[in-house]
Amino acid sequence: MIDSEIGLVYTENRKIFALKNSSIEVPLENVITADGWNATQPLLTANKSMPGPTIFLYENQTITIIVQNNLVNEPVTIHWHGIDQLGWPAMDGVAFVTQCPILPGQSFNYTFQPRFSGTYWYHSHVGNQRDMGLFGAFIVRKKEDVPLEQQHIIQLQEWNHLYGAITLLKADLNGANTSESMSILINGKGEFGDNMAPLETYTVDINAKDLFRMINVGSASTFLFSIPGISLIVKETDGYPFRETIVDEIIIYPAERYDFELDLRTIQPGIYNMTVHILEGTKLEKGGEVLGLAFLNVTNLQSTTVESSGTRNKNTTVLNCPFDVYPNRPYTKCIPVSHLKSNEESLSFNFDLLSRSQESSTYFLNFGFPRPKGYSSINGRRFIWPTVSALSQPSELDTSCSNCDSETSCECTHSLTLKTGSEIIMVLTNVGNGSFISHPIHMHGHTFEVLKMGFPTVTENGDIIQNNDILCSPRLHNKESQCNNATWRNSSWMDYRNIPGINLLDPVRKDTIVVPYGGYSVIRIWATNPGIWFMHCHIDGHMVEGMALMLNESFENINQYLPDGLPTCHSFTNDPPVPQNAEQTSGSIDGRNNLCVVYAQFLDHVRSDFSFLSCCSKLCICLLFYVSLQNL
């Protein structure tokens, strides 16, 4: 760890001190401590901090954020996660999907108007830059909101000592395993072993109703969050309110958000632990020794008497299980998100830019690593990124996936064309021979209704048996099939109103949902937001490998929503144009037969040799955000 002015620092007793003079305590704001590991590491950050600065604005405000790329060699884009960008399709920030990457020295003006209050976040959408530190919270407030001093942000991430801007690239190159979580950070702070590194402390008054906004900003891990002894009154997920639900623990997948208050009615003032565990495998077992820790200081400024309720119920209620029975955890009650009910406020929201039609389509999308190739893919299609900006250069795209079929994997720029105004039902499945782990699936450009989740069966021994509602293949058993062309086993369910247990009355809304191992999630949107919207697993490694596709939505209506002068970008192939009406025959009409073409592939290791060696005067590599608010 290093302070730009004081130099190297070390951690002791939750504080940091200058290495050259141990009597100098260094302010925490000046140093990114991560888990206090005794090494100095360049990170990729916004405004020199990890997490980056929290951006606050009010709903329906127009915000302009200038992202200035001050890196020397790396392109960036910034995605505003959870903002549906209704009518702002060019502001979604996905490299080669909604824009050209912002090259070193360039800037990009992101201007858009978030309509709904809630907890959102921003992060790089180039490769795995997010894991190198490039993310932060994005909070859209209501006009009559909880005062800011009573709002607290909890950003959870796993940490590996290779998660630096240089080390992670080298690890990628060498195929090193970076999936091991060495520690867990809360707002960028954690500890490694027992090194007593600084941790986050939240202070609340026992008589106030403080709001906690929790975000999983991590790379891949599923976290179990709790404050032992204190129940959580959960009110919102992914920016959308639902009927309050009181739980003891929350499972949070990458990119999800949960907003909650604390149930302090029976609590004594004092210091409580906030604990975060990593959940591993299909049964979500607590992993290893690694523990995320922060402190909750409950004060009682009014000194009123707190009544104790006496003994606590020994049952534990857990929100967001990917099954309805928790394997090997007796006395545990699971509440999957499909059991949450929207409240009246979120049912009144309008999500349409275009009018709805009577048409309806159903898509089955299977997420996994189908054998024999084992690609991260959707319906066996490993996503290949376009080399042009899909939104501004649609005619230059090749989205053909013709080499794929129901049992054959392929690599292509997978896209789904959604008919303007139509109702879209998606059955997101996680079955077949490539199903190994639950996937948190994120859709850009929309929030979706969660109509139903189908779970695997958990036996008394704690074994998990895959759900049988999905038919992967007319010939093969589900476990033998790639499941690229699934359907309902009961064909009458193709009319979704016939699906048992489907909630069309008050479904909860989300933008990121777990597709349970051995199960499925049924979601619904209307194709009323013209754009090209990315949809992908939010486990960074899976996305980078190709578990992604593009939703090509109402494209005939796109032009009026694109700003003038949106940049274009493409490869230069130096292929001369073929003259019209001039049939090419054998011979060398253009002399090309005499050309020797040498293909050189520039691989990641070339990049890692040259990148990241200079930027700001500080050690971190920085982007500059200039944030301005208009139209309050």
Q: Which residues bind Cu ion (CB under 5 A)?
A: 439, 537, 539, 542
Q: Cβ neighbours of residue 203 under 8 Å, at least 6 residues apart?
A: 296, 297, 299
In degrees to the nearest 10, what's the CA dihedral of 218, 224, 228, 229? 110
Element spanning 172, H or E: helix 167-174
Q: Closest separation between CB of residue 180 and Cu ion, Å?
A: 18
Instruction: Name the closest residue to Cu ion (Cβ).
Output: 537
Q: Closest separation between CB of residue 495 and Cu ion, Å?
A: 30
Q: Closest separation between CB of residue 537 and Cu ion, Å?
A: 3
Q: Closest separation between CB of residue 546 and Cu ion, Å?
A: 11
Cβ closer to Cu ion: 276 or 537?
537
Cβ closer to Cu ion: 42 or 546?
546
How far is it, in rounded angstroms, from Cα 542 to Cα 450?
Answer: 23
Instruction: Indicate the SS3 state at residue 589.
Output: coil
Cβ closer to Cu ion: 166 or 537?
537
Cβ closer to Cu ion: 539 or 544?
539
Report which DSSP code applies to 94: -
Structure tokens at 393: 């250069």
How far is it, in rounded angstroms, from Cα 98 to Cα 567?
Answer: 10
Does a cis peptide bond (omega within 30 degrees of 0) precede residue 372?
yes
Cβ closer to Cu ion: 257 or 439?
439
Q: Closest separation between CB of residue 541 and Cu ion, Å?
A: 8
Q: Closest separation between CB of residue 96 and Cu ion, Å?
A: 20
Instruction: Indicate the SS3 state at residue 559.
Output: helix
Residue 513 backbone phi and psi in degrees, to 5: -135, 145
Structure tokens at 534: 């990315």
**Stated length of the chain:** 632
Q: Closest separation between CB of residue 543 and Cu ion, Å?
A: 7
How far is it, in rounded angstroms, from Cα 414 to Cα 384?
Answer: 8
Q: Closest separation between CB of residue 547 and Cu ion, Å?
A: 5
Bridge partners, residue 186, by sequence: 156, 189
Cβ closer to Cu ion: 79 or 152?
79
Cβ closer to Cu ion: 102 or 321?
321
The single-letter code of the amino acid at 606 is V
Instruction: Indicate the SS3 state at residue 432.
Output: coil
Cβ closer to Cu ion: 123 or 542?
542
Q: Cβ neighbours of residue 11 under 8 Å, at least 6 residues apart?
A: 1, 17, 33, 36, 195, 196, 197, 198
